[in-house]
Protein backbone atom coordinates (compact mmCIF):
# COMPACT_ATOMS: atom_id res chain seq x y z
CA UNK A 1 0.00 0.00 0.00
CA UNK A 2 2.80 2.39 1.01
CA UNK A 3 4.71 1.37 -2.10
CA UNK A 4 1.71 2.11 -4.31
CA UNK A 5 1.26 5.53 -2.68
CA UNK A 6 4.97 6.32 -3.10
CA UNK A 7 4.83 5.31 -6.77
CA UNK A 8 1.79 7.55 -7.30
CA UNK A 9 3.52 10.55 -5.68
CA UNK A 10 6.64 10.03 -7.81
CA UNK A 11 4.54 9.73 -10.97
CA UNK A 12 2.48 12.87 -10.25
CA UNK A 13 5.58 14.87 -9.28
CA UNK A 14 7.24 13.74 -12.49
CA UNK A 15 4.25 14.72 -14.58
CA UNK A 16 4.15 18.15 -12.95
CA UNK A 17 7.85 18.60 -13.67
CA UNK A 18 7.36 17.65 -17.31
CA UNK A 19 4.41 20.05 -17.53
CA UNK A 20 6.64 22.84 -16.24
CA UNK A 21 9.24 21.96 -18.83
CA UNK A 22 6.73 22.21 -21.67
CA UNK A 23 8.20 23.83 -24.75
CA UNK A 24 6.71 26.92 -26.28
CA UNK A 25 5.99 26.66 -29.98
CA UNK A 26 5.68 29.81 -32.06
CA UNK A 27 2.16 30.18 -33.41
CA UNK A 28 1.31 31.43 -36.91
CA UNK A 29 -1.92 33.38 -37.24
CA UNK A 30 -3.40 36.84 -36.90
CA UNK A 31 -2.39 39.07 -34.03
CA UNK A 32 -5.38 38.14 -31.84
CA UNK A 33 -4.67 34.41 -32.27
CA UNK A 34 -0.99 34.93 -31.49
CA UNK A 35 -1.80 36.78 -28.29
CA UNK A 36 -4.35 34.10 -27.28
CA UNK A 37 -1.60 31.52 -27.73
CA UNK A 38 0.81 33.58 -25.63
CA UNK A 39 -1.82 34.22 -22.95
CA UNK A 40 -2.61 30.51 -22.69
CA UNK A 41 1.07 29.73 -22.16
CA UNK A 42 1.47 32.66 -19.75
CA UNK A 43 -1.48 31.37 -17.69
CA UNK A 44 0.25 27.99 -17.38
CA UNK A 45 3.53 29.64 -16.36
CA UNK A 46 1.79 31.70 -13.67
CA UNK A 47 -0.22 28.73 -12.41
CA UNK A 48 2.90 26.69 -11.69
CA UNK A 49 5.19 29.24 -10.07
CA UNK A 50 4.82 32.17 -7.66
CA UNK A 51 8.37 33.50 -7.78
CA UNK A 52 7.97 36.85 -9.50
CA UNK A 53 11.39 36.97 -11.17
CA UNK A 54 11.12 33.41 -12.49
CA UNK A 55 7.67 34.05 -13.91
CA UNK A 56 8.67 37.39 -15.45
CA UNK A 57 11.72 35.76 -17.03
CA UNK A 58 9.63 33.10 -18.75
CA UNK A 59 6.99 35.63 -19.84
CA UNK A 60 9.65 37.69 -21.61
CA UNK A 61 10.96 34.49 -23.23
CA UNK A 62 7.49 33.55 -24.53
CA UNK A 63 6.80 37.07 -25.84
CA UNK A 64 10.20 37.17 -27.49
CA UNK A 65 9.80 33.74 -29.08
CA UNK A 66 6.36 34.58 -30.43
CA UNK A 67 6.91 38.13 -31.63
CA UNK A 68 10.69 38.60 -31.90
CA UNK A 69 10.63 42.26 -30.92
CA UNK A 70 13.84 44.24 -30.43
CA UNK A 71 13.55 44.33 -26.62
CA UNK A 72 11.02 42.82 -24.22
CA UNK A 73 11.38 43.23 -20.49
CA UNK A 74 10.16 44.25 -17.08
CA UNK A 75 11.24 47.12 -14.86
CA UNK A 76 10.41 46.75 -11.17
CA UNK A 77 9.31 49.61 -8.92
CA UNK A 78 11.97 50.45 -6.33
CA UNK A 79 9.92 52.65 -4.02
CA UNK A 80 12.84 53.55 -1.73
CA UNK A 81 14.90 54.84 -4.67
CA UNK A 82 11.85 56.38 -6.39
CA UNK A 83 12.94 54.65 -9.58
CA UNK A 84 12.36 51.63 -11.74
CA UNK A 85 15.10 49.02 -11.73
CA UNK A 86 15.76 46.61 -14.58
CA UNK A 87 14.15 43.18 -14.24
CA UNK A 88 14.07 40.09 -16.47
CA UNK A 89 14.34 40.87 -20.17
CA UNK A 90 15.21 39.54 -23.62
CA UNK A 91 17.24 41.72 -25.95
CA UNK A 92 20.25 44.03 -25.96
CA UNK A 93 21.82 45.72 -22.94
CA UNK A 94 19.36 48.16 -21.35
CA UNK A 95 19.22 51.12 -18.95
CA UNK A 96 19.48 49.86 -15.36
CA UNK A 97 17.35 52.55 -13.67
CA UNK A 98 14.61 54.92 -14.78
CA UNK A 99 13.45 57.69 -12.39
CA UNK A 100 9.77 58.12 -11.49
CA UNK A 101 8.02 60.14 -14.19
CA UNK A 102 10.93 59.95 -16.65
CA UNK A 103 10.88 58.38 -20.09
CA UNK A 104 8.01 56.27 -21.36
CA UNK A 105 8.42 53.73 -18.53
CA UNK A 106 8.57 56.31 -15.74
CA UNK A 107 5.54 58.09 -17.20
CA UNK A 108 3.53 54.86 -17.43
CA UNK A 109 4.38 54.24 -13.75
CA UNK A 110 3.56 57.80 -12.65
CA UNK A 111 0.27 57.88 -14.55
CA UNK A 112 -0.59 54.19 -13.96
CA UNK A 113 -1.61 53.71 -17.58
CA UNK A 114 -0.42 51.97 -20.71
CA UNK A 115 1.39 54.13 -23.24
CA UNK A 116 1.70 53.31 -26.95
CA UNK A 117 4.46 55.29 -28.67
CA UNK A 118 4.28 54.99 -32.49
CA UNK A 119 7.52 56.98 -32.93
CA UNK A 120 9.89 57.16 -29.96
CA UNK A 121 11.75 60.09 -31.54
CA UNK A 122 8.59 62.17 -31.17
CA UNK A 123 8.01 61.31 -27.48
CA UNK A 124 9.34 64.13 -25.25
CA UNK A 125 11.79 62.72 -22.71
CA UNK A 126 12.02 59.28 -24.30
CA UNK A 127 15.04 57.39 -22.90
CA UNK A 128 16.93 55.73 -25.73
CA UNK A 129 18.47 52.52 -24.40
CA UNK A 130 19.00 51.35 -27.98
CA UNK A 131 19.48 53.47 -31.08
CA UNK A 132 17.61 50.76 -32.99
CA UNK A 133 14.30 51.37 -31.19
CA UNK A 134 11.66 53.20 -33.21
CA UNK A 135 8.40 52.44 -31.38
CA UNK A 136 7.46 51.25 -27.94
CA UNK A 137 4.62 50.12 -25.69
CA UNK A 138 4.72 50.23 -21.89
CA UNK A 139 2.10 48.58 -19.68
CA UNK A 140 1.95 48.97 -15.88
CA UNK A 141 1.69 45.81 -13.75
CA UNK A 142 -0.59 46.34 -10.74
CA UNK A 143 -0.79 44.37 -7.51
CA UNK A 144 -4.12 43.27 -6.01
CA UNK A 145 -4.42 46.69 -4.29
CA UNK A 146 -4.10 48.48 -7.64
CA UNK A 147 -0.59 49.81 -6.99
CA UNK A 148 1.93 49.86 -9.85
CA UNK A 149 4.67 47.36 -8.94
CA UNK A 150 6.40 46.97 -12.30
CA UNK A 151 6.08 47.88 -15.96
CA UNK A 152 6.34 45.71 -19.05
CA UNK A 153 8.32 47.56 -21.71
CA UNK A 154 8.54 46.42 -25.34
CA UNK A 155 10.53 48.06 -28.12
CA UNK A 156 10.28 47.52 -31.86
CA UNK A 157 12.81 48.49 -34.50
CA UNK A 158 9.87 49.45 -36.73
CA UNK A 159 7.81 52.63 -36.55
CA UNK A 160 4.16 52.08 -35.51
CA UNK A 161 5.06 48.67 -34.10
CA UNK A 162 2.22 48.70 -31.55
CA UNK A 163 -1.43 49.66 -31.29
CA UNK A 164 -3.99 49.90 -28.49
CA UNK A 165 -4.84 46.27 -29.33
CA UNK A 166 -1.31 45.23 -28.31
CA UNK A 167 -1.60 47.26 -25.11
CA UNK A 168 -4.93 45.59 -24.26
CA UNK A 169 -3.52 42.06 -24.67
CA UNK A 170 -0.35 42.95 -22.76
CA UNK A 171 -2.52 44.33 -19.93
CA UNK A 172 -4.19 40.90 -19.75
CA UNK A 173 -0.76 39.32 -19.53
CA UNK A 174 0.39 41.71 -16.76
CA UNK A 175 -2.84 41.04 -14.83
CA UNK A 176 -1.65 37.43 -14.42
CA UNK A 177 1.12 38.77 -12.15
CA UNK A 178 -1.06 40.74 -9.75
CA UNK A 179 -1.03 38.17 -6.93
CA UNK A 180 2.73 37.56 -7.19
CA UNK A 181 3.98 40.94 -5.89
N1 LIG B 1 12.67 53.69 -23.74
C2 LIG B 1 12.38 53.51 -22.35
C3 LIG B 1 13.61 53.08 -21.59
C4 LIG B 1 13.78 51.61 -21.46
S5 LIG B 1 14.43 50.86 -22.81
O6 LIG B 1 13.58 51.12 -23.96
C7 LIG B 1 14.63 49.24 -22.60
C8 LIG B 1 11.79 54.78 -21.76
O9 LIG B 1 11.76 55.81 -22.42
O10 LIG B 1 11.34 54.73 -20.62
How many structural domains is the chain composed of? 1
CB of 126 closer than 6 A to ligand 1?
A: yes
For residue 129 and ligand 1, the question of a CB distance below 6 A is answered with yes
Task: Give residue 8 CA to ligand 1 midpoint distance, Å.
Answer: 49
- Confidence label for 11 from pLDDT (cuts 50, 70 and 90): very low
Residue 34, CA distances (Å) to 27, 43, 54, 56, 103 in order: 6, 14, 23, 19, 29
Pocket lining: 136 vs ligand 1, CB cutoff 6 Å: yes
Does ligand 1 come within 6 angstroms of the Cβ of 107? no
Where is average pLDDT lowest: 10-19, 52-61, 73-82, 119-128? 10-19
The answer to whether the beta carbons of residues 71 and 130 sit under 8 Å apart is yes
Phi, psi angles (nearest 5°) of residue 81? -95, 0
Per-residue model confidence as pLDDT tens digits over 63-103: 999 999 999 999 999 999 999 999 999 999 999 999 999 99
Threshold 0.75, pTM exceeds = yes
Residue 155: which domain range?
2-180
Q: Which atom of ligand 1 lies at the shortest distance from residue 108's CA?
A: 10
pLDDT band with cut points at 50, 70 and 90 for residue 37: very high
Query: How far, in Å, from the CA of 2 to the mean position of ligand 1?
Result: 57
Residue 136 sits in a domain whose CATH number is 3.30.450.40
**Model confidence at 18, in pLDDT bands (50, 70, 90)?**
very low
Nearest CA to ligand 1 atom 5: 129
Amino acid sequence: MVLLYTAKVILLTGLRFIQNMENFTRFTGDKAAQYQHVLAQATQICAHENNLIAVMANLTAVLNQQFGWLWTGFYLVDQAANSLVLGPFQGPLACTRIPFGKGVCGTAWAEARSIVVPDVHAFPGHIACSALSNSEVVVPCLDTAGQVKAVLDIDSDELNGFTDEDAAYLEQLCALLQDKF
